């Protein structure tokens, strides 16, 4: 038990923080713990969690994906245009859009792993290009409503359980299997820890890195499709808030942004924390800008914790405390 807590202490802390936040929110907003409100909170967290799944893989591998907003937005807009409100075209539209998201991820991954382009530059460029293409393609005109089947997947229920919750649960199990039980997961942690050492150890570093971006592109596209079902329509800019949201969710879940450790189980807690925070702000009479402050603070803190300088300072302080303790005992 002690070994488990030691190895996963940041994930455990994320869930403890989530529970404390639930209690705080319930204190300031008594109706928060109602069944309908908890269900709504979980549904909103599901969208963050699904989109952040791919971001988790990328960050564990030592990268970051800034193309998520417009991969999500592109999938949403194209889905409504191609389906024109009808369910039947979804049979080929959804696989096509997921493949398209994977293709964007493939290009991102190839640029990073094969061409050596920094992840921030590569994925930010892809995001801007996609934004321009969608603006040109649509001309800024409104798109048709989402098909009824997509609305059902996003807000419908089966025996009282939200369908989106079932989808998120299935994806969580799949992510857990990939990270904890597969060779890909072992390779990913090795790449994120030290890509040079991993390469000389026989790890297929290029393939592993590219695959993380492919997964991120596909989950961003899936998130865009499902989010359109929740809102009823696709609109330009609907994915913008998911850039720092996904990064913050991964960071809150205990994964250092510099890579090498973390788990999607922690990201699940991060997605719930951010969604609960969104509900807490109105109760405290705070604007949405306060949430941006939280995003920035979390990202800054996790980068600092993961940096070599911080690690050296922490190790130095620990050694100093140890020497003082030993000196006291000997004295």
Query: What would the mean pLDDT of 93-122 be, rounded to a whole number?
Result: 95
Alpha-carbon dihedral angle through residues 174, 302, 309, 205, given to the nearest 10 degrees: 20
- Please report how many Cα atoms fall inside a 13 Å half-sphere around the Cα of residue 66, on the Cβ side: 13
Under DSSP, the state recorded for 260 is S
Distance, in Å, from the CA atom of 59 to the CA atom of 303, rounded to the nearest integer, reads 12
Which residue would you say has higher pLDDT here, 57 or 33?
57
Beta strands in 56-107 (DSSP E): none
Q: Which residues pair with 233 in a beta bridge?
A: 145
All residues at 6 or more sequence positions from 254 whose CB lies less than 8 Å from its CB, including other chains: 8, 9, 10, 11, 13, 14, 261, 262, 263, 266
Query: Integer distance in angstroms from the first to the last C-alpha of the chain?
Result: 35
Q: What is the DSSP letter of 41?
A: H
Q: Judge whether 47 and 227 are in contact, CB under 8 Å.
A: yes
User: pLDDT tens digits, residue range 76-107?
Assistant: 999 999 998 899 999 999 999 999 999 999 99
Are residues 257 and 243 in contact, defined by beta-carbon separation less than 8 angstroms? no
User: What are the Cα distances from residue 11, in Å, to 55, 137, 148, 206, 265?
Assistant: 17, 42, 37, 28, 7
Q: In 3-state terms, what secondary structure has residue 227?
A: helix
pLDDT at residue 7 above 80?
no
The more confidently predicted of residues 72 and 255 is 72
User: CA dist 155 to 21, 148, 228, Å?
Assistant: 25, 10, 11
Distance CA 319, CA 321 (A): 5
3-state secondary structure of 34: coil
Query: CA 252, 193, 118: angle at the middle one, nearest 5?
Result: 80
pLDDT at position 326, please? 59
pLDDT tens digit sequence for 245-273: 898 899 888 888 888 888 999 999 999 98
CA distance 168 to 49: 7
Give the domains, in start order, of the chain with CATH numbers.
Answer: 34-330 (1.10.3470)
- What's the confidence (pLDDT) of residue 102? 96
Give the pLDDT of residue 310. 45
pLDDT band at 331 (very low <50, low <70, confident <90, very high): low
User: For the segment 211-242, what is each residue's pLDDT rounded down to a tens digit?
Assistant: 999 999 999 999 999 999 999 888 888 888 88
- List the one residue out of 165, 191, 172, 156 whose CA is nearest residue 63: 191
Average model confidence (pLDDT) for the chain? 85
- Better-predicted residue by pLDDT, 303 or 149: 149
What is the rounded distance in angstroms from the CA atom of residue 258 to the CA atom of residue 171?
Answer: 24
Q: How far apart are CA 44 and CA 310, in angstroms?
A: 35
Q: Which of 12-21, 183-192, 234-243, 299-308 is predicted with the least confidence, judged by mean pLDDT?
A: 299-308
Determine which helix (DSSP H) or strand (DSSP E) holds 158, and give its type and residue range. Answer: strand 157-158
Percentage, residues of the chain above pLDDT 70: 85
- The confidence score (pLDDT) of residue 313 equals 46
């Amino acid at each position: 038990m002690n070994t488990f807590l030691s190895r996963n202490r940041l994930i455990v802390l994320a869930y403890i923080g989530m529970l404390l936040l639930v209690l705080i929110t319930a204190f300031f907003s008594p109706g928060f713990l109602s069944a309908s409100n908890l269900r709504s909170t979980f549904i909103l967290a599901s969208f963050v969690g699904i989109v952040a799944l791919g971001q988790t893989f990328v960050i564990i591998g030592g990268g970051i994906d800034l193309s998520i907003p417009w991969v999500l937005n592109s999938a949403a807009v194209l889905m409504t245009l191609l389906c024109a409100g009808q369910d039947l075209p979804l049979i080929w539209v959804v696989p096509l859009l997921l493949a398209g998201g994977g293709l964007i991820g493939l290009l991102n991954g190839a640029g990073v792993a094969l061409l050596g382009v920094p992840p921030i530059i590569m994925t930010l460029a892809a995001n801007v290009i996609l934004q321009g293409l969608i603006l040109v393609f649509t001309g800024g005109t409104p798109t048709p409503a989402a098909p009824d089947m997509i609305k059902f997947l996003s807000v419908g229920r089966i025996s009282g359980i939200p369908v989106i919750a079932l989808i998120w649960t299935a994806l969580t199990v799949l992510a857990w299997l990939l990270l904890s039980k597969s060779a890909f997961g072992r390779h990913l942690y090795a790449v994120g820890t030290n890509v040079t050492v991993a390469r000389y150890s026989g790890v297929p570093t290029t393939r592993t890195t590219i695959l993380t971006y492919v997964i991120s592109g596909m989950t961003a596209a899936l998130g865009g499709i499902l989010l359109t079902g929740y809102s009823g329509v696709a609109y330009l800019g609907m994915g913008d808030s998911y850039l720092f949201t996904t990064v913050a969710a991964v960071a809150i879940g205990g994964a250092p942004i510099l890579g090498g450790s973390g788990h999607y189980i922690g990201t699940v807690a991060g997605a719930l924390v951010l969604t609960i925070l969104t509900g807490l702000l109105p109760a405290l009479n705070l604007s949405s800008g306060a949430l941006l402050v939280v995003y920035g603070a979390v990202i800054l803190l996790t980068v600092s914790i993961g940096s070599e300088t911080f690690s050296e300072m922490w190790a130095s302080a620990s050694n100093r405390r140890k020497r003082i303790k030993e000196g006291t005992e000997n004295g």
